[in-house]
């Protein structure tokens, strides 16, 4: 019986994760009605996991969802994490495939909580944004085990954990 309860409890995280994805996508669409191909969108103000369930964890999660939502490929997207860094030529977001660079050309950050989008044209604009708007990103989300979500089972998830691959990719 305890196994069935554990599965039920964990399944609820996935159901809620799907609901959150739809809320975030609907919100983006209502505030950014047109998103041309080539746009790079970084979503801020959300967490990559709902418990152990991914909301938008991998770079293809949000990119693919936005491409479907806007009806065309060519949208590159990710979320702000505590490990995001501002580089001279763009934002770098870690992933299971290694760090991914999102160049400043056509780069927009959408802050879910503020319902505002910010065009980041260069390193100075990005630093202003992260120093003045996204000030809580280091402690906004519970600690997760990269690729495995937040441990809700008291120590099981670290056993399953894996570390990110340390190579760099540039999203064109």
pLDDT per residue as tens digits for the range 57-97: 888 999 999 999 999 999 999 999 888 999 999 999 988 88
Question: Which comes out higher in pLDDT, residue 127 or 8?
Answer: 127
User: Cα(52)–Cα(49) distance, rounded to whole angstroms?
Assistant: 6
How many structural domains compose the chain? 1
Where in the sequence is the domain holding 51, given as residue range(s)? 2-170
Distance CA 49, CA 51 (A): 6
Q: What percent of the chain has a predicted confidence (pLDDT) above 70?
A: 78
- Number of neighbours of residue 68 by Cβ within 10 angstroms: 12
For residues 109 and 31, the answer to whether their CB atoms sit within 8 Å is: no
Closest CA to 21 of 50, 51, 52: 50
Rounded CA gap, 127 and 29, in Å? 26
0.85 exceeded by the pTM? no
What integer pLDDT is reported at residue 157 of this predicted model? 47
For the chain, report the end-to-end CA distance as a whole number of angstroms. Answer: 50
The single residue listed with the structure tokens 């196994």 is: 3
Mean pLDDT of the chain: 85
Residue 130 binned pLDDT confidence (cut-offs 50, 70, 90): very high
Distance CA 157, CA 95 (A): 18
Compare 155 and 40 and report the one with higher pLDDT.
Answer: 40
The answer to whether 55 and 18 have CB atoms below 8 angstroms apart is no
Q: Is 156 helix (H, G, I), strand (E, B) or coil?
A: helix
Q: Which of these, 43, 11, 62, 64, lies nearest to 140 by C-alpha position?
A: 43
Which of 56-60, 97-101, 134-138, 162-166 shows the lowest mean pLDDT across its residues? 162-166
Per-residue model confidence (pLDDT) at position 18: 96
Instruction: Name the pLDDT band for 121 (thresholds 50, 70, 90).
Output: very high
């Amino acid at each position: 019986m305890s196994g069935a309860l554990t599965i039920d409890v964990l399944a609820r995280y996935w159901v809620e994760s799907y609901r959150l994805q739809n809320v975030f996508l609907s919100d983006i669409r209502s505030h950014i009605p047109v998103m041309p191909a080539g746009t790079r969108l970084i979503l801020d103000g959300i967490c990559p996991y709902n418990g152990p369930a991914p909301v938008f964890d991998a770079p293809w999660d949000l990119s693919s969802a936005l491409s479907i939502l806007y009806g065309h490929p060519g949208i590159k997207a990710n979320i702000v994490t505590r490990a995001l860094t501002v580089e001279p030529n763009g934002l770098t977001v870690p992933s299971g495939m290694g760090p991914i660079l999102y160049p400043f050309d056509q780069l927009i950050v959408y802050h879910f909580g503020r319902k505002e989008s910010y065009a980041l044209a260069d390193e100075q604009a990005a630093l202003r944004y992260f120093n003045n708007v996204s000030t809580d990103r280091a402690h906004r989300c519970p600690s997760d085990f990269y690729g495995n979500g937040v441990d809700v089972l008291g120590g099981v998830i670290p056993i399953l954990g894996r570390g990110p691959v340390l190579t760099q990719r540039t999203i064109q």
